[in-house]
Chains A and B, each alone.
Chain A
Amino acid sequence: MSETFPWSVLGIAPTSDRKAIRKAYAAAVKAMDIDAEVDAYAHLRSARDQALALARETPVDAVSPLALRDVSEDGGDPLPGDEGASSSSSGFWPLAAPRLLRPLGEGSVRTAPQTPEPAPGRPCFETIFPDAPADTPIAATLELGPHQSLAAPTLSGYGEIEAALGLIPGQTACERLEAVLTESDDAELAEAERIVALRALQAAIGEARSEGIDRQEQVEDWLAGLLATHWPRSAPLLETATQAFGWHEEWHRFDARPAVRFIGARLRGARFRARVEDPGHRYHAAWRELNRKGPAGPFRWLRASRDDVQFVLSGLRANFAHLEDELDPRRIASWNRPVIWPRVVLGLCWLALLANLLGLSWPFVSPAYELPDGTQIELAEDGPGPTLFGEYLETAVAESLGQGHDLAWLWDRDAELARRIVAQVRASLDSGGGAEGATRAAVNLVRAATHAKGHTLSGEAREAAMRLRLDQLRAAREMAPATCLTLLHDGQLPQQASAFPEPLRARERAAAARLAETPLPPENPGEEDTSVPIPGALIDAIIARTGLPDAAVREALQNEGEDAPRCDVAIALLAAALDWDGEPATREAILRAL
């Protein structure tokens, strides 16, 4: 930077007079429109700031004499460890800068005050807390020695645990805290130490609370550095200190103090760990898996899902990277490698295909058939294998819905019916009905389903469905009156009945395929009991069609009497109702009953 900056910008000769600098700056600001000259304003600001900084550095009379004396005393004092000297210093704070910038390395941090480091092993309180212990009679109590301190009279705020640990009575809370944290190299605080440390921490916080904000900040800064330096020994203290100073507000900030960020990562890591160790936690399995030693085997995906593990890993890295250091790197490495199990599965598939080609049945698992929606159904050990079962299924479907239709086609349109067909075919095969029985069962099932679906239709389609029904009943009557009645009540033909003639079958298949997309109506078992009033006109028509006497017709309509007249009356009623153009509601009720 040129010799003339910042003075050239301010338009004055180099000076250490703050007033002159500010006057020049004020004149320059008033002469410009800062909203229009953004860069010039920034330039002027930085010139002013630099000039003021230079003025501060130059030791001239303009600088406050008090501050000067302070600097010379503490800067020139080579004895930070000398109690007498430091206690004699006036009440002024040697570290007036509000920020103690200390570099913090990962895992190992050290409070670095701006004054020279005291000799190793010595507590650094004298430099950080010059006003703390001087007037307490430490010298006298020190003579007692660590063993005798047990017998020493208990001072106020000084308890038996402290005494047992050999701590010095009369220590300030801050000193005691540092002593407990530094006196051992153990990674963890012993229970007694933990109690003392926590008590000392709370006392230190309480003392700071009753002080001014500058002092609070010094204590806070010092504490943050101390706790960060002595982690993991300080681990049980982090929560309390964080609550007291609101560090949780700070550690998310991009400009958080390094010690606070360090503590934040440790504390959040501990909180995360406490939560994730609960077996009910969403990522518990992934966490446990990552904590195992050694590389993970090919079946690691059985223990935790890959996505979960990756999620936990990326969360660790973004938030508390130190937790990853505690995990076995080989384990993590194997999770980072592409998984080889797809190849294993592929190999198994080849084996299965080979076995199938050789006509072997898979020796380990019971045969299963995969449905179009991907679910597997188990087949009987001694029944047909999956391939044969599939063939039977397709035959049954083609017989029910016509050539060119297969199970997948039906599955897309009416999964419920398809599922029932599969169940029916399997049940039929299991009961020894063979391929033919299975097909017949399926056809019957579809016939009943088509009839049920027909009831949900209206208009032309409804009429066509009922005409088909009429012809089915007539065909069944040809076979036997009982068959007709079974069809009338169950919608199905009896198991042993022979099939309908082919033209009727074709109409059935066409109707089933046409109605494939119509959903099955919910079953309504109460429907059979509904009584339907039949108008006299229809009774007359039935009598005319059947030639039966009036009484026999009425008996049949009550579902009484012999099969043949009941069947004839039902057919006649259906035919008459279809041709009748009476009241629509009554007609619909009659059709529904049939």
Chain B
Amino acid sequence: MLIGIDLGTTNSAAAIWQDGTARLIPAGADGALLTPSAVSCDAAGATWVGTPARDRRAAHPADTATSFKRAMGTNTLFHLAGREFRAEDLSALVLRALVEDIAAETGTRPTEAVITVPAYFNDRQRKATRQAGELAGLTVRRLINEPTAAALAFGLQDKGDREPFLVFDLGGGTFDVSIVEMFEGIVEVRASAGDNRLGGDDFDRALIALAAPRLDPDGRLAALPETRREALLARAAERCRKALSSAAKAEFTVTLDAKTQLSLPIGQDEFEAACGPLLDRLRDPIVRALRDSDIAAHDLSEIVLVGGATRMPAVRKAITRLFGRFPNAAVHPDHAVALGAAIQAGLAARDAALDEVRITDVCPYTLGVEVAEPSPNGGLLKGLFSPIIERNTPVPVSRVQSYSTLSDGQKQIEFGIYQGEAREVARNIRLGEIRIPVPARPAGEVDVDVRFSYDSSGLLEVDLHIPLDDSRHNLVILDEEDREGPESLAARREALAALKFHPREDAANMALLARAERCYEDHIGPVRQNLGRAISRFTGILDTQEPRLIAEARDRLSAQLDAIEGSAPL
């Protein structure tokens, strides 16, 4: 079975293409459609993924990882309860949880997937995502850009023609803009641009920067250990930002211990002012996408909002101002990407219901090689970038460009291959290099034709041809040189498999316990004491291993938590 997965910064979701429609798969027993992208471990190697992991962050901040998508493609290590994980490993654990959910729902275990990535993810980040899929035991049939997936979900609601519309995708960690057009069943991405370091997390950080100095006049918060302080503030910011999406004022509340709660009211206006620099950063990708597609903003037919962070009134206001009209909120901001991925899965499986649908995408970055040029004042300017495939070219694409030798009797040429938009290669991302021998001739007499071929999945192939002696060389940029081989991939997969997961029936209990502990951390006074008693009672009943008793106790505790969380201002 081929599935579609939205692997998000904050939340992930899985969807399948079934009976001519895309359907989201509920995560776990409680019917929620989103799985928080969170992983938590304890010293014994027990591992939590999703909602319970996010709940565990309250009591075990150091052993819980969130927002690891921002570290994809880097060598950042996450230390959870003495174990080391890369972002790919943690993403693989989330993917595995989604696969389990699908297996439980449909009865078949999926082996292939379409995974979404931010359009502006670079080559390294895409490779890391692909690797996460492999670590989770999935064959990644295709990576699809998130705004493209959202456009598919949006466009296929009625399959009608649409003049160019703009998909505005502001997620937890990344921002993408795509301009898409639909006609005769063709979904055509005209241009994509983005900022892969801008998302809801940054707005949380702005909120913390706004609240923290005033919240903590006695320095009690500052005296806490760093991981705990950051976890407390992050949670408070998340809650406060959510509350601000529906109210003009919200409390920024941090619970320090059983007796102390720090609280500060934050107004919508204040928050908006604090977000000013972030809102300004929204403009640049929009302008670039419009310029590249040669479309004026007032010619856009719709502004389609995707991603949880677009719920913020401050963001909606900025969009309304930029485009002079209200955005379209017809698609569910958290579900559209996963649904689009499932549609793409249906397309890849050549499902009959999608026979009349095609999608064409673009490559959002420029690809080229490093060159040197004689400087007008003498000497040589080195390290310049010469584009071969310009950004927002439709993919698949194959382009050729000719280069020649620089010095007399030169015996070899080295081509550094780069991705990016800067004039100097040092500011771009190095993908690889190829060094070829050339016949020794006077400078400029040996030409080399460099052909770049870029396919729909984002795989780049470089072919070199020297017409002088008709020699050919080929390089497939599969992995950077420092990436490990298949053996180590297998070893990492085994290391992940060695982690202990709770059996499905236990998982509900563990998740409830994590939720109760989070609730305990959030409250003070009698509520906290009551919760403490309830938690020890519940763990006592768990020890009896009596299914009927446990089920009753679970329902009781669950109802108690619902009552507390429903009434409290948090």
Contact = CB atoms under 8 A, between A and B. Distances in A.
B498 to A, nearest CB: 38
B398 interface: yes
Most A Cβ at <10 Å: residue of B186, B424, B453 = B186
Given A38-B398, A253-B421, A212 B322 contact: yes
Contacts of A254: 366, 385, 387, 421-423
User: Chain B at the A interface: mostly helix, strand, loop or mixed?
Assistant: mixed
Interface string B419-444: 00111100100000000000000000
A414 interface: no
Interface residues of A, number: 37
Given A253-B421, A321-B377, A26 B298 contact: no
B283 A216 contact: yes
Interface string A39-50: 101100100000
Nearest to B293: A98
Interface in B267-303: 280-281, 283-284, 286-287, 290-291, 294-298
A253 B422 contact: yes
B297 A213 contact: yes
Interface stretch (A27-35, A351-359, A378-386): A27-35
B284 A246 contact: yes
A26 B185 contact: yes
Contacts of A39: 398
A98 B377 contact: no
A22 B184 CA distance: 8
Contact of A255 (B284, B358, B421): B421
Contacts of A419: none
A314 B379 contact: yes
A497 interface: no
B290 A41 contact: no
Contacts of A217: 287, 290
Given A252-B427, A317-B375, A212 B398 contact: no
Contacts of B298: 212, 214
Contacts of A22: 183-184, 186
A22 B163 CA distance: 12
Interface string A313-334: 0100110010010000000000
Nearest to A34: B396
B360 interface: yes
Contacts of B381: 317-318
A246 B186 CA distance: 35
A38 B422 contact: no
Interface in B307-343: 321-324
B557 to A, nearest CB: 51
Interface string A196-220: 0000000000000010111011000
A249 B377 CA distance: 27
A504 interface: no
Contact of A213 (B183, B323, B385, B398): B323
Interface string A212-244: 111011000000000000000000000000000
Interface string A250-264: 001111100000000
B358 A98 contact: no
A317 B297 contact: no
A213 B378 contact: no
Interface string A560-592: 000000000000000000000000000000000
B188 to A, nearest CB: 9
Interface string B344-357: 00000000000010
B549 interface: no
Nearest to A261: B423
A120 B297 CA distance: 33
A213 B286 CA distance: 9
Nearest to A217: B287
User: Chain A at the B interface: mostly helix, strand, loop or mixed?
Assistant: helix
A29 B184 CA distance: 11
Contact of B356 (A23, A30, A246, A318): A30
Contacts of B296: 96, 98, 214
B280 A42 contact: no
B565 interface: no
Given A246-B280, A254-B385, A324 B397 contact: no
A99 interface: yes
B185 A213 contact: no
A321 B286 CA distance: 32
B376 interface: yes
A35 B378 contact: no
A210 B297 CA distance: 15
B394 interface: yes
B455 interface: yes
A314 B385 CA distance: 18
A38 B358 CA distance: 15
Given A96-B296, A314-B379, A212 B185 contact: no
B410 interface: no
Given A98-B294, A212-B297, A253 B321 contact: no
B196 interface: no
Contacts of A29: 186, 358, 360
A336 interface: yes
A35 B377 contact: no
Given A34-B396, A214-B296, A217-B287, A26 B183 contact: yes
Contacts of A318: 375, 381, 424
Contacts of A336: 378
Contacts of A210: 321
Contact of A42 (B366, B379, B398): B398
Given A22-B183, A29-B358, A35-B456, A214 B297 contact: yes
B389 to A, nearest CB: 11
B365 to A, nearest CB: 12
Contacts of A255: 390, 421
Contacts of A41: 394, 396
B324 A30 contact: no
Interface in A247-290: 249, 252-256
Contacts of B290: 98, 213, 217
Contacts of A26: 183-186, 358
Nearest to B368: A254
B301 to A, nearest CB: 14
A245 to B, nearest CB: 9
Contacts of B421: 252-255
B493 to A, nearest CB: 29
Contacts of A212: 297-298, 321-324
Contact of B322 (A30, A213, A314): A213
A513 B283 CA distance: 78
B283 A213 contact: yes
Interface of A: 19, 22-23, 25-27, 29-30, 34-35, 38-39, 41-42, 45, 96, 98-99, 210, 212-214, 216-217, 246, 249, 252-256, 314, 317-318, 321, 324, 336
13 contacts: A22-B183, A23-B184, A29-B186, A30-B185, A30-B186, A34-B456, A42-B397, A98-B290, A99-B294, A210-B321, A212-B322, A213-B290, A216-B322
Given A26-B184, A252-B421, 7 more contacts: A26-B186, A42-B397, A216-B322, A246-B281, A249-B284, A253-B422, A254-B385
Sort A-B residue pairs by CB-CB distance and give the 7 closest, nearest first.
A26-B184, A212-B324, A254-B423, A253-B421, A213-B297, A213-B322, A252-B422
